Amino acid sequence: MPIMPHKNSPGPAIAVCRGIPTKHMSVIYFIRHGQASFASEDYDRLSALGHVQSEILGKYLARLEISFHGVYTGTLRRQRETAQAVLPHMPQAAGLSVVETEGLNEYDSQGVISSQLPAMIEEDPRFAQDARHMEERRSFQRVFEGAMLRWASGRHDRPGVESWEEFSDRVRGAIRRIMQENRRHKSIAVFTSGGPICASVQMALGITAETAVRLNWQIMNTSVSEFKYNDTGIFMASFNSVHHLRLERRPELLTYR
């Protein structure tokens, strides 16, 4: 499938849809990437399990006879590899061009952690111990969660690090363009990461940045979150579905990183 550059066209305003018949709406399926390569030299690639998760999703969507009119990904390798593993299992997707846009990329987690960690250690010296053992999942999670909540608050922004507000504006811009380009009665696949999905939930439901960040920790690999939209707005129809993995009855398929 050819990779196409994304057009920088303007789009409609984002709003929560209330009282609008859903049969007149288009659908965006936000798909989180498969398991990446945590604690390896290159996190930004699917693990062997991530490829399996993605192929299971592709077969599941094919059985449901879901057809996509458009497919979008971020430019990160793990997002593109997920799309490349899912789409060949879907005959309905044959011939579609996959559109890449940086607006669907994840935030820079390493930049966020590096910018917040010194102050975190100053406030709570126990973080210094965790910082020395970031290859361990529990230590990483404690540091990651603390840094993310500080970052999302907007009170600890640092020069050179994308703020939560800038990040969420970037995601909103990408979604506006997708809505503008596809209009009515369309079914769109968006292969992205947990952060952009949660920014989209915030966009649709009006939740706080802190709540959006906390939701991010619950999003599972290759989960599907469904949003519906029309010319006036967008709203969330389902969140973080992993039925395709649960049907396999293999607990090791259910992962968060």
Q: How far apart are CA 62 and CA 79, in angstroms?
A: 19
Q: Is 238 helix (H, G, I), strand (E, B) or coil?
A: strand
Find out whether 198 and 212 touch, Cβ atoms under 8 Å. Answer: yes
The helix (H) or strand (E) run that includes residue 12 is: none
Global pTM value: 0.88
What φ, ψ does residue 198 adopt, rounded to 5°? -70, -35
Q: How far is CA 217 from the centre of its chain?
A: 11
Query: Strand order in 26-32's β-sheet?
Result: 3-4, 98-100, 70-73, 187-192, 26-32, 224-230, 233-241
Domains and CATH numbers, the chain: 25-106+163-196+214-250 (3.40.50.1240), 109-153 (no CATH)
List per-residue pLDDT tens for the chain, 257 residues long: 433 434 433 333 333 444 455 567 899 999 999 999 876 667 899 999 999 999 999 999 999 999 999 999 999 999 999 999 999 999 878 788 999 999 999 999 999 999 999 999 999 999 999 999 988 889 999 999 999 999 999 999 999 999 999 999 999 999 999 999 998 899 999 999 999 999 999 999 999 999 999 999 999 999 999 999 987 789 899 999 999 999 999 999 999 98
Q: Residue 213: CB partners within 8 Å, gap ≥ 6?
A: 148, 149, 151, 152, 164, 198
CA torsion sign for 193, 196, 200, 201 is positive
- Partners of 26 in beta bridges: 229
Helix count (H) and strand count (E) of the chain? 9, 7
Q: How far apart are CA 15 and CA 36, in angstroms?
A: 32
36: which DSSP letter? B
